[in-house]
Amino acid sequence: MKTIWLTAVLLTLVACSEGQDSSVMQADARWYSQAQVDMGRVVFGQNCAACHGYYAQVNSDWKKAMPDAQDPPPALNGTAHAWHHPMKALKRTIDMGGVPLGGKMPAFRDKLNNAEKEAAIAYFQSFWSDEVYTAWLGRGGFKP
């Protein structure tokens, strides 16, 4: 009886450590590099954090940045719905802003170059859990 129980515990431990391994692998398999996240931290801090929050979590100061807005900007840290949008759509939002859709976000097409836009995306995606990132991939996510 004791052996069975011990085997069960051991098997559970093995299963858990295997689970951890695969999540590490998934995190390694993201499209961006740590250098892009580091660059994105600067780009995001200077251009996006006033509204979306330094950690992409929505800043409590957003009303100062956009006093006429009804709704706060969405969080980009994986808790809202940014992961529904494939890479192209994320880039389009950054390029065009929200104004064409009746929103408030300013356009960044001429303010940031492509590497800076991708770095900003890499930065806020670095807050996404592997579950959210995998769901994003499943919805078309990253197509170069």
CB 128 within 8 A of CB 75: no
From the list 8-16, 25-33, 76-84, 129-137, the region that binds ligand HEC by CB under 6 A is 76-84
Give the residue from 121, 125, 102 showing the smallest Cα distance to 112: 121
Site for ligand HEC in 113-132 (CB under 6 A): 120
Those residues whose C-beta lies under 8 Å from the C-beta of residue 65, and which sit 6 or more positions away, are: 50, 51, 59
Q: How far is the CB of 129 from ligand HEC (least distance, A)?
A: 16
Q: Counting contacts by CB under 6 A, is residue 77 touching ligand HEC? A: no
Residue with tokens 């996404």: 128
Q: By the criterion CB under 6 A, which residues form the site for ligand HEC?
A: 47-48, 50-52, 65-66, 69, 73-74, 76, 80-82, 85, 90, 93-94, 98, 103-106, 108, 120
